[in-house]
Amino acid sequence: MSRIKGNLKLVQHAVYPPKPHWTPDQLPDLSGRVMLVTGGNTGIGKEMIKELLKHNAKLNSLASVRKAAEEFLSKEEALHTLFNNAGVMWAPVADVTADGYDMQFGTNVLGPFLLTQLLLPALLKGKASSPDGHARIVITSSAYAYLGHLDFETFKDGPARRKLSTEELYNQSKLADVLVTFELARRYGEQGIIAVALNPGILKMELMRHINANTINWPAPMGAITPLYAGAAPEGLKLNGKWLIPWAREEKCCNEQAYDEKLAGHLWDWLEEQVKKPGQVNFVNGLEA
C-alpha cells in the first residue's frame, strides 16, 4: 500500500503540479549575501545562478568536495545559503566512485554531506551577517524519495548493491537526502541554520542523460522555483525541517522513513565515519574536533 501511495504522490506532485504561486521575480534584493550552488553548470543549478545574480547575490559553482570547500573558504569567511543541488540519476549499476561507493549514493548523499560539514563554520558565521539572522541549507532531493528504502549494505559496492536496480539505488539516495536534511534541521535549527529538502519536479535537463524514456518533463527554469523559494525568499524562514514539492509548496513527505529520527541518527553517524580523514576525530556540532 505504501508503494502505491508513493507512486500516486510521485505522479501528482512531480508530473502534474499546479501552477506556481511564487516565481523568482519575487526574490528580494540579495546584495551582500553569499550563496553557493553545486552543480551550477547545467540544469536547475544553472537556472538558480541566473536568478540569484539578477538579485545581486555572490556565487561560486564548484565540483569536488574538499577542494571546493577549501577554495570557497579561501575567498569567503561567511556563507548565507548552501544549495546542495548537484546529483546523478539512474547511472549504470556498474558505476562506483573512486572510493568504492555506489555512484548515486556517493554523488547525491556522501559528497554533499561532506561539503556541508566543511562549510558549517561559514554558515554559522553567515547567520550573523544575514539580514534575517539565519543561514540556509537547501538540499535537492526528488519525487523518487517517496519510493526509497535505505539498505546500508548497498551504500558501498558489493553483492547486496549489485542485486538492486539503478532505480532502487537512486530512490534510496534521494530518501537519504531527506533524512540528512531533517537531521540537519534538528541539530542546527536552534543555532539559526534552516535546512530544507525538496522535490524540484521532473525536468528536461542533463541529469536525465542515463534515461531513455518518453515522460512529461518540465523546462529546467521551472525546477529552480522551489529551491530559490527555500533558499532566498523571506518565506523560507518558516521552512526549517520541511519538505517542499513543485512549485514552492510545503507538504509532508509520504515516505514514513523520512521522519524516522533513529534511522536519521544512524545514517548521520555512518556518514560522519566515512568522511573522516585518517587520524581525524569526528565532527562535533559541525566543527572538526
| Domain membership flag for residue 150 | yes
d(CA 206, CA 106): 18
| Amino acid, res. 87 | G
Cell of 85: 543541488
| Domain membership flag for residue 287 | no
| Domain membership flag for residue 177 | yes
Per-residue pLDDT of the chain (289 residues; tens, 9 = 90+): 556 555 666 656 666 788 888 888 898 998 888 788 877 666 777 777 678 768 877 573 333 588 889 988 999 999 999 999 878 889 999 999 888 999 999 989 999 999 999 999 999 999 999 999 999 999 999 999 999 999 999 999 999 999 999 999 999 999 999 999 999 999 999 999 999 999 998 876 555 544 554 555 788 889 899 999 999 999 999 999 999 999 999 999 889 999 999 999 999 999 999 998 755 544 444 444 3
pLDDT for 5 equals: 59
| Domain membership flag for residue 285 | no
| Domain membership flag for residue 225 | yes
pLDDT for 38 equals: 78
| Domain membership flag for residue 252 | yes
The total domain count for the chain is 1
d(CA 59, CA 36): 5
Cβ neighbors of 247 (< 8 A, separation 6 or more) are 17, 18, 19, 20, 21, 22, 201, 222, 225, 226
| Domain membership flag for residue 283 | no
Handedness of CA 275, 279, 281, 286 (dihedral sign): negative
Torsion of CA 274, 118, 66, 70, to 10 degrees: -160
| Domain membership flag for residue 288 | no
Just list the catalytic residues. 141, 170, 174
Phi/psi of residue 152, each to 5°?
-60, -20
List the beta bridge partners of residue 149.
Answer: none
Parent domain of 103: 2-277
CATH at residue 131: 3.40.50.720
Burial of 16 (0-12, 13-18, 19+ CB in 10 A): exposed
